[in-house]
Structure 1
């Protein structure tokens, strides 16, 4: 899980303002009003289950086309407040640091360790299988960390994908 980052803004006051916004949102709409706009649930049939013992508790790891390159080993993490792209993957995709925009807000993992981002970049992505392919632009925070995943798809990416 990654927390922090520039998703709500890139300043020290961002967490306070986001907390206030959440309180305001909860007081403006009733649960019934929110539920009518809720998307259909994502369902995985039994044929999609990995072979082996059940129940399994494996993480959801996907592949996605990012900037014309199929990137595998992308962790779907509903606890992360940003989409993360590993610097090594970023470089292998033929991208350069000159394309990054500065990020002033550090990231923190669930252990509380702080990580400085290399920068942010918005890239075109495609996800899904033909004929249900979704194309959109997605913002990633690039970090230089040793990680078994090439990227993390956090809440912003999941929200961008919508229903």
Structure 2
């Protein structure tokens, strides 16, 4: 038999008269309800048909300078400042800073009243908006059903 060695530390004395109940062995994940967020937060993903996917990309989004609403590029009209005038960029390829506008006369008048064109195009001074107004008259006039033909007649050589 081995000799009992005296401990250097005094024996622990509990101040509690009754011992604590045993703690159940659970991990943090099971305590929260599961590993996955839908388990933890109690989400029911069975209501969604098919797989959960990222939102569909709908193309670039720009802000109309008239009404300040965001819309797809296909719904807006691009305008550019050229030599002190605002010009419509139908193909959206002209160089320089562009601004976007709904094809709505209300947005055009609001942008003109607020002086939004020089601010959006970052040009000092006043810009003439005649070109945009003519474009609106031509475009909306043909959409309304007017029979005026604004295209020049072209004579083909024989």
User: What range describes the TM-score normalised by the shorter chain of this pair?
Assistant: under 0.3
Higher relative contact order (CA 8 A, sep 6+): 1
Return the TM-score normalized by structure 1.
0.21
- How does the TM-score come out when normalised to structure 2? 0.22
